[in-house]
Amino acid sequence: MHIAEGYLPPVHAAAWGVASAPFVVHGVRALTREVRANPESTLLLGASGAFTFVLSALKLPSVTGSCSHPTGTGLGAILFRPPIMAVLGTITLLFQALLLAHGGLTTLGANAFSMAIVGPWAGYGTYLLFRRFGAPLMVGVFFGAFVADLSTYCVTSVQLAVAFPDPGSGVAGSLAKFGGIFAVTQLPLAVSEGLLTVLVMRLLTQSSKGDLLRLGVLARPEPKRHEEAAA
Amino acid sequence: MSRNAKINTLLLALVAALAVLPLALGLGDHKEEPFTGADGEAETAITEIEPDYEPWFSPLYEPPSGEIESALFSLQAALGAGVLAYYFGLRRGRRQGEERAAARAEGAPSAPDADTDA
């Protein structure tokens, strides 16, 4: 989903950079706070970052006959909330821009906006919505990751459509074109990402109940809450 | 295999199926170069819309060949997978250690902290 280096006009590149910067700065603060308050979170934070590392290196074939990759941002957004994912996602993008010529420095702002900001927020919002209406944890996790992935590619399509409106049919025409390239390709990949995120969350519920309780992903059993209130 | 392991295997199999089906069904056959990156297609689309557009910045470092590029992508995946494996390995080890400690404490009821389940 990365917009390649130099492929956004300078004004657009700068505007997306300005739009992303506050989210990333706020994210860095949230991350420092989390690590200071709960040093035991560091491990799981690393694991969440590692998950986006693996998934965004995983180029998979899709129904449109082209390849794309998942983003892996839904997991961290559900575990640690979206601001922290703004940092972890941007680090992944920076790695790919500097070492792989995948994405770019001039397009980092735009790519961070789609993958590290909108994706995590949309995914987290979806997860919360499902949970609020009583959906089981894993159903919420699946749709959260699915939406985090798909919304990222929709934003990329919008970013390119706004920068390169079709001479005949305008922004809408371009959006159809870029949406066909990115969003349609991404549909099955978003399902894959949902399934993989559920798999990791299942492993976490088996291995790290304590972390998930502390982060509020798993609900505390009632009596324990009373103990805490008393303490 | 436990029920948990069965569900996890099923999830992985589904992901693998989603990746293999487009290849097996030949969904890329209508293209000159099937299964290229969507990013590259977007670049082509940009040049179709604005034939005069020239990228105004080029990457500081570009992998010299496709092989080096895939090596670096594998490195990225390996780094991520390594950290994930470390995390789950550490957690599993800790849990087993705690279980063993708890079992030992149960075996010796005179121990002062025999009834803590932390």
What's the pLDDT tens digit per position in A8-59? Answer: 999 999 999 999 999 999 999 999 999 999 998 999 999 999 999 999 998 8
Interchain CB contact of A170 with B (< 8 Å): no
The answer to the question of residue B31 being in a domain is yes
The tokens describing A190, both together, are 């978003």
Q: Do A67 and B36 touch (CB under 8 A)?
A: yes
* Interchain proximity A178–B72, CB inside 8 Å: no
* Domain tally, chain B: 1
Instruction: Please tell me the pTM assigned to this model.
Output: 0.90
* Residue in B36, B58, B81 nearest the CB of A6: B58
Structural domain contains residue B72:
no
Q: Is residue B88 part of a domain?
A: no
Picking from A183, A159, A177, A152, the residue whose alpha carbon sits closest to that of residue A71 is A152
Q: Is residue B97 part of a domain?
A: no
Mean pLDDT, residues A203-225: 83
Question: Would B79 be classed as within a structural domain?
Answer: no
In whole angstroms, what is the distance from residue A208 CA to residue A47 CA?
Answer: 12
| Residue B116 within a domain | no
By residue range, what is the domain housing residue B46?
1-58
Question: Percentage of chain B surpassing pLDDT 70?
Answer: 91
Question: Is residue B71 one of the residues assigned to a domain?
Answer: no
Q: Does position A225 have pLDDT exceeding 70, yes or no?
A: no
Tokens for A103?
């994405």
Q: Tokens 């996790």 correspond to what residue?
A: A141
**Angstrom distance (rounded) from CA B35 to CA A172:** 26
Q: Which of 11-50 (B) contact A at CB < 8 A?
A: 11-12, 14-15, 18-19, 22-23, 27-31, 34-39, 41-43, 45-46, 49-50
CB neighbour list of residue B106: distance below 8 Å, 6 or more residues apart: B114
Mean pLDDT of A96-113: 93
Is B49 a domain residue? yes
- Nearest CB partner across the interface for A66, out of B23, B36, B74: B36
Asked if the C-beta of A221 comes within 8 angstroms of chain B's C-beta atoms, the answer is no
Q: Is B81 at the interface with chain A, CB within 8 A?
A: yes
pLDDT at A26: 97
Question: Tell me: the pLDDT tens digits for A173-194?
Answer: 999 999 999 989 999 999 999 9
